[in-house]
Structure 1
Amino acid sequence: MNPSSVAVIVERVDAERRYEILVDGRRAGLTAYRDRGEQRVFFHTEIHDSHTGQGLGAQLVQQALADVRASGKRIVPVCPYVATFLKRHDEFANITDPVTPDVLRWLKGELG
């Protein structure tokens, strides 16, 4: 299959509180969040095994964080993948908040 002919779309799925990356219409991965006031707390990112090594995780997170910026929210990178991405992409530094014990307690309550 020619990679340039593959349709890759990132979309926010508000009902599921996550961003999904779709490859030819099928979900290839997601990054999950919970909103805490003006903060969007990212806590889990995954790419399906059949799609690893294709740069989809970076594409997913890049577009999710751009959407956070466009919506006027701030990023809290609890998810290790998102945190690592942010270390390499300082263009989001001005809208990134630290992961604090308070945020972690709140997230634990949200996730049950």
Structure 2
Amino acid sequence: MTEVIREVSGSKGRYVIRQNGEEAQMTYSITSPTLVIADHTEVPEAFRGTGAGLAMLTQFVADARAEGFKIMPLCPFVNATRKKHPEWADVFAA
């Protein structure tokens, strides 16, 4: 798995993994310094089964802890995955 890259532009951001000319991404919206909304996760067919979605979410959780913000899980993937990881409960505003 290649590295997870974080890109931020104004109040929008995303985590992205690039591999063989394709991109998997997890987009988010910054509502305040303490609340970020996980909007959407998009993983192309070429990435299926590689753990790309989990890798991006794991980085998102690590950044939330390091920077002190909560994640509002509007994205169905993020919401479903957080339920499988009770150890992440501290970073989710739900």
TM-score category, normalised to shorter length: 0.7 to 0.9
TM-score, structure 1 as length reference: 0.73
Greater share of strand: 2
Whose helix fraction is larger, Structure 1's or Structure 2's?
1
Counterpart check, 1:79 vs 2:62: no
* 1:8 matched residue in structure 2: 2
Query: Following the alignment from structure 1 to structure 2, what is the Cα–Cα distance between the partners of residues 64 and 27?
Result: 20
Q: After TM superposition, what 4+ stretches of structure 1 lie above 3 angstroms from structure 2?
A: none
> Which of 22, 25, 30 is equivalent to 2:25?
30
TM-superposed CA distance for 1:59, in Å, is 1.1
Distance 1:74 1:89 in 2: 15
SS at match of 2:93: coil
What is the RMSD computed on CA atoms of the aligned residues?
A: 1.6
Higher RCO by CA contacts (8 Å cutoff, separation 6 or greater): 2
Gaps of 5+ in 1: 1-6, 99-112
Aligned length: 91
Structure 2: gaps spanning 5 or more residues? none
Indicate conservation of the 8 Å contact 1:68/1:74, yes or no: yes
- Give the 5 Å matches for 1:60-99: 60-98=56-94
Partner of 1:39: 35
TM-score, normalised by the number of residues in structure 2: 0.85
CA distance in 1, matches of 2:6, 2:53: 15
Deviations 1:38-95 (A, max 9, x none): 1110010011111112111111111122112211111110000001110011121012
1:27 Cα deviation (Å)?
Answer: 4.8
Determine if contact 2:61/2:91 at 8 Å carries over to the other structure.
Answer: no
